[in-house]
Structure 1
């Protein structure tokens, strides 16, 4: 039963406060928390009570409750704001939330409002979090790399693509063993695309050899245009654009097929003089997919691209679910 509007006698309030402090000193955190919650239930709320409760929750490893309470106290933005922020940062560090801790410290230090006595502790937590984050990332990346080559040995293309995407979201650079997958004929083309995009994201400046669809080429990731930013991608996009107004459904199919085609080929890109045939192939496939009747046309010039686009669409669908 909640006390409701019942007022706690000052003497009993003082007893509970003193007993909760004593229990915390004696590390009897369950007992202390019970007394603090009793005080709060009578609407006795002050900085000391909230701080005591946070200490108890953290010591009892009830971190979710501690974080929720701390966040609600921070939102109040009262005179104890930075003391709660300090507790919050400690909590984030204890629960391995290094990215969140780094973000909070960066914002607070940039504000210029952090009290002088807390600037150094904040910076120390920031520095320790950066080191811990890197250690965690390295450990996680090694696990992903081991799993990736297990997936290679098992010929599990979907798992390979998933793991490369996980690795590409870290700051780790692909090692030579990973790069060698780009010339391995047994590796799925979309996995190779993902590896190359990873190398592009981190700005690899050396020339890399890639084997795909019987083509052997060298390219520099940092200098390779984004998939949809190449000259051929823009040219084909321009050619199929006219369908957007006349038949939006047809345009959507064509645009999706184009995206799958270019992704599967990447970093290989067709030459500009192939663009009219590719655009026509996209139109014919789109019409076929939507059962749109069109006059019979000479298909010889575009048959090659129709087969390529259908093949890459199947390859894309075998790995990625749109």
Structure 2
């Protein structure tokens, strides 16, 4: 039997729309949603009806679905930015509130009505960052090296300004982890922090301004040593060379921002000796430089759980 197409009564749309909008005005959101959904099922709805459904969903507590539908409307150039921003605030998505309002401002849209929400969201973001910094402070006071390094590797860089005092104390504490310190310094350099800081590692002390750290010096040292290793051993034993390369990168990372003081050739010899002894299972380090490589590797092992 052929399915007949149902043609709505001419006044159905007007009646459902009137009932739905009246219910919405009177805050009977569930009832309004029922009327307006019928319009949609009969394909008699438009963008205004869809926006009314968004409001109903939002007020009924279905904020996620309301946000998704509102985004679809806004993508078509319809919808209501005020409703959308209110939903973001309700969902505590303050970063997105700030991003959306700034986007509208760049488009030349008058955002005066949204400025209180912008200020509120920025205040909440600052508060969240301060709370997070306090949580991190207790962690960096302790000795959970792997956890500390994991935090730094996943760090929201907007937190850096709140963490500078914590980093300053950590860097000048000789007992703290050298690899964690290096990671801190890289973060501070990337964020162009200009505050002078004392760094203590391996019995050495240096005052640095992170923004001015010259990473090229360390890069040149790495290349010079590996160039000797490559010319001497890369062809006869490629695996040995790759191992030397890994050990040397790890040692120099642990040392940063300090540079070796011994000749390049001595370090190349020490690298090969260290790797050769590891390969044979020997654990007696007769050379001071080989001992330094061994100590650096122990540091890496202490954070290998990441």
CA RMSD of aligned residues (A): 3.6
User: How many residue pairs are counted as aligned between the two chains?
Assistant: 298
> Would the aligned equivalents of 1:227 and 1:262 in 2 still touch at CA under 8 Å?
no
Normalising to structure 2: TM-score of the pair?
0.78
1:219 to 204, 208, 212: 208
- Aligned in 2, Cα 1:253/1:187: closer, same or farther, shift over 3 Å? same
> Would the aligned equivalents of 2:30 and 2:56 in 1 still touch at CA under 8 Å?
yes
Unaligned runs of 5+ in 1: 293-298
Equivalence for 2:76: 76
> Would the aligned equivalents of 1:179 and 1:195 in 2 still touch at CA under 8 Å?
no
Q: What does residue range 125-136 of structure 1 map to in structure 2 within 5 Å?
A: 125-136=117-128
> Would the aligned equivalents of 1:67 and 1:88 in 2 still touch at CA under 8 Å?
yes
What CA distance in whole angstroms lies between the structure 1 residues aligned with 2:249 and 2:269? 15
Unaligned runs of 5+ in 2: none
Equivalence for 1:319: 303
- Aligned in 2, Cα 1:146/1:8: closer, same or farther, shift over 3 Å? farther
Matched, 1:209 2:173: no
- Aligned in 2, Cα 1:282/1:321: closer, same or farther, shift over 3 Å? farther
Equivalent position SS for 2:214? coil
> Would the aligned equivalents of 1:4 and 1:42 in 2 still touch at CA under 8 Å?
no
What CA distance in whole angstroms lies between the structure 2 residues aligned with 1:64 and 1:108? 22
Equivalence for 2:91: 95
Cα shift readout 1:143-170 (whole Å, capped 9, x = no counterpart): 3223433xx1xx3222233345566731
Cα shift readout 1:21-56 (whole Å, capped 9, x = no counterpart): 222223222232233233222223312211111112
> Would the aligned equivalents of 1:138 and 1:172 in 2 still touch at CA under 8 Å?
no
Normalising to structure 1: TM-score of the pair?
0.75
1:160 to 134, 137, 148: 148
Cα shift readout 1:246-266 (whole Å, capped 9, x = no counterpart): 987656544433332222112
Measured after TM superposition, the shift of residue 202 of structure 1 is 3.7
> Would the aligned equivalents of 1:233 and 1:262 in 2 still touch at CA under 8 Å?
yes
> Would the aligned equivalents of 1:209 and 1:219 in 2 still touch at CA under 8 Å?
yes
Matched, 1:307 2:291: yes
